Amino acid sequence: MNNKIKNYLVIIAYIILTTGLLVCSIEDIENPWNTMFFSFAIILIFTIRQIIGEGQRKKLYILYVLVQTALIFMLGQIDNGTSFVLFYFVIIYDVIFRVYGIYSLFYSGMLYALTFYINYCKFKGIGIVTVYKLEFYNFVIYFFVVTILYLLKYICNINNKLEAAKDGLSIKNIELEASFEKIREAYRKNEDYIVMDTKNRLAREIHDTVGHTLTTALVEMEASKVLMEEDKKEASNKLTSALEQVRKGLRQVRTSVRALDKSQINYYNEVIELIKNTILHTNVIIRYDIDDFNGEKEIVKRCIFRALQEGISNGIRHGAATAFLFKLKYDKELLRFSLENNGKGLSNFKKGFGLTAMEERVKEANGSLDIFTDIDEGFNIYINFEVDKSLEN
């Protein structure tokens, strides 16, 4: 029961009990002390019941009801009027709100039967018709009070359910707000990840494109510097070629920024062109044997092209390689990438930005990367990609 409603009902109960005490005392004005004693006893036990509260045990509550009923019954025996029924109304209220089902209704009927018995014994001398008329009025009052109490209990139960539903909705609302906050936080993190991923991909694209192009241009500029005194025409051709490489790199950067990974490219032709341009502009030797891999996923094709580009650039720039052997062959359910060179090699090496980007690309393409190098053993890159069967048809 709502505490506010419960407090109001208890206040009304005390008003009724006080009224019963006063009226019973007036009805027995010549000797009110016995009436007042039983009335105070009933009020005292009701007060103790309120102090103990709803948590009292069932047996203790039954004892409380029996004691109250007995006290009111004795009060009715000594009271000269019928005002003692006011005390019964308070006990009926307490039982109806504490006991569920037919038991409270049975107890209400039992109290009315006791009231009828007391009144019959006290007033039968004034005439049976008068007694029955009095009891008819008492019955109407009893029925009205019990009906009001049951309706009030029903309203309180509905109110309790509404309060519980309101609390449930409040909890759900809090949970939804918490879930919404988590979703919003996840969205922010995902947004940050997308931005960071896009930045990283753009950085890799620019690094791979500009790195390879500038490496090629650098080699040609170094060659032109050597030829400047010996063969000015050849030196001029080398410089012109280097300028063209720089222009090409700039165009590739612009393409990467505009479309990044969305452009449709024939990567098989791009690989062939990359090899031929490198041979033409750097005078390194590249032997190659590759299968057409245009049937693979875009991410795999792009990874192959960028890995070859990075491998050749690193080989020339850091390893002083003059010869490469590149193979890209299907082997059952694998597409095997291998790039070997005759560069200086390293006994211990740390992955820089380029190799880290290559490793990330391979991981994104669900491939596996292995690097083997040692002093005077060159720098060898091996990548295995799983063939996507769904793309064969």
- Domain locations in the chain? 3-126, 282-393
Percentage of the chain exceeding pLDDT 90:
17
Q: What is the pLDDT of residues 317-364, one digit of tens each?
A: 888 899 999 999 999 889 999 999 999 888 877 888 888 889 999 999
- Name which of 25-39, 89-103, 215-229 the model is least confident about: 215-229
Which pLDDT value is given to residue 206?
Answer: 65
Q: What is the pLDDT of residues 366-387, one digit of tens each?
A: 999 999 998 888 999 999 999 8
CA distances from 40 to 33, 53, 150 (A): 10, 20, 27
How many residues are present in the chain? 393
Contact, 208 vs 306, CB < 8 A? yes
CA distances from 87 to 74, 151, 192 (A): 12, 20, 73
At which residue do the structure tokens 């509260």 appear? Answer: 53
Most confident residue range from 23-37, 228-242, 288-302? 288-302
Which pLDDT value is given to residue 342?
Answer: 93
Phi first, then psi: what are they for 291, rounded to 5°? -90, 155
C-alpha closest to that of 352 among 310, 290, 387, 302: 310
Which pLDDT value is given to residue 307?
Answer: 93
CA-to-CA distance for 252 and 245, rounded, in angstroms?
Answer: 10
* pLDDT tops 70 at residue 97: yes
- The residue-averaged pLDDT of 168-183 equals 75
CA-to-CA distance for 259 and 253, rounded, in angstroms?
Answer: 10
* pLDDT tops 90 at residue 119: no
**How many Cβ atoms sit within 10 Å of the Cβ of residue 335?**
21
* Residue with the larger pLDDT of the pair 330 and 41: 330
Which pLDDT value is given to residue 151?
Answer: 83
* Residue with the larger pLDDT of the pair 385 and 109: 385
Contact, 351 vs 312, CB < 8 A? no
* Residue with the larger pLDDT of the pair 161 and 247: 161
Identify the CATH assignment for 282-393 out of 3.30.565.10, 3.40.47.10, 3.30.1330.10, 3.30.465.10. 3.30.565.10
Q: What is the pLDDT of residues 74-90, one digit of tens each?
A: 888 877 777 778 888 88
List beta partners, residue 379: 373
Which pLDDT value is given to residue 335?
Answer: 95
- In degrees to the nearest 10, what's the CA dihedral of 330, 331, 336, 341? -100
Which pLDDT value is given to residue 393?
Answer: 46
Amino acid at 324: F
* Residue with the larger pLDDT of the pair 347 and 187: 347
Contact, 304 vs 268, CB < 8 A? no
**pTM (global) more than 0.85:** no
How confident is residue 49, by pLDDT bands cut at 50, 70 and 90? confident
C-alpha closest to that of 79 among 137, 40, 118: 118
Contact, 20 vs 87, CB < 8 A? yes
Which pLDDT value is given to residue 262?
Answer: 47
CA-to-CA distance for 157 and 97, rounded, in angstroms?
Answer: 10
Cα torsion 138, 140, 146, 152: sign: negative
Mean pLDDT for all residues in the chain: 78
At which residue do the structure tokens 């048809």 appear? Answer: 393
Q: What is the DSSP letter of 261?
A: T
* pLDDT tops 60 at residue 258: no
Residue 351 structure tokens: 């992955």
- The residue-averaged pLDDT of 215-234 equals 64
